[in-house]
Amino acid sequence: MKLLIASDGSAMTSRVARRFERALWYVFVEDGKGILDAVRNETPMDHTRILARAAREHVNIVVTDKLGKKTVRHLVSHHLRAAFGRGMTVREVMEKSMRGELHSLTEEELHQQVERPVRPVSTVPVPRQKRAPRTHTIAVGGTPRGQHHLQQYSGRGH
């Protein structure tokens, strides 16, 4: 079985990358043979090129820790399966695959696993601040706008 592993390095002892899109290396591995090829991620769009290559080379599973929305779309469009290898090394992923313990996600599970922005939920109501009292006086018969105009243009040669 061929695997594409997003990792922090190009060796068997390298950790699986936290995000597929930001991986430093993409390692092509085959069960029993070891590392076939390691490609360095050099530009922001390299991961899409790597996924297209993985589809051409008949990779069975893409292994990473997290996936973004666009990457999930590319995986689905190239008919690639994905698996998570949280906290594992390239060697551990390969061994798990050889034992048949590497669980690949279905298309529905992929869409559910996409990172969603987490908004902080506040349970304690935060009181609004009161408006600061005015520190300047308004000229008799004038308006705040007129006072501002006087402050802005008086005494500076206008």
Q: Which CATH architecture has domain 2-113?
A: 2-Layer Sandwich (3.30)
Give the pLDDT score at 116: 55
- Between the CA atoms of 81, 85, 89 and 93, what dihedral angle is there, to the nearest 10 degrees? -50
Task: Evaluate whether 19 touches 65 at the Cβ level (below 8 Å).
Answer: yes
Give the pLDDT score at 66: 87
Give the pLDDT score at 135: 64
Residue 105 pLDDT class (50, 70, 90 cuts): confident
pLDDT tens digits along 10-29? 899 999 999 888 899 999 99
Write down the residue that tokens 């996600």 correspond to. Answer: 105
**Over 70: is that where the pLDDT of 117 sits?**
no
Q: Which two tokens stand for residue 1?
A: 């079985």
**Over 80: is that where the pLDDT of 158 sits?**
no
Q: Taking residues 93-102, report their average pLDDT.
A: 89
pLDDT tens digits along 77-91? 888 889 988 889 999
**CA gap 59, 145 in Å, rounded:** 70
Q: Which two tokens stand for residue 115?
A: 């990172």
Task: Evaluate whether 114 touches 69 at the Cβ level (below 8 Å).
Answer: yes
Task: Evaluate whether 3 touches 97 at the Cβ level (below 8 Å).
Answer: yes
* Bridge partners, 39 (sequence order): 26
Q: Taking residues 36-42, report their average pLDDT.
A: 89
- Between the CA atoms of 21, 23, 27 and 31, what dihedral angle is there, to the nearest 10 degrees? -80
| Top mean-pLDDT range of 49-58, 103-112, 138-147 | 49-58
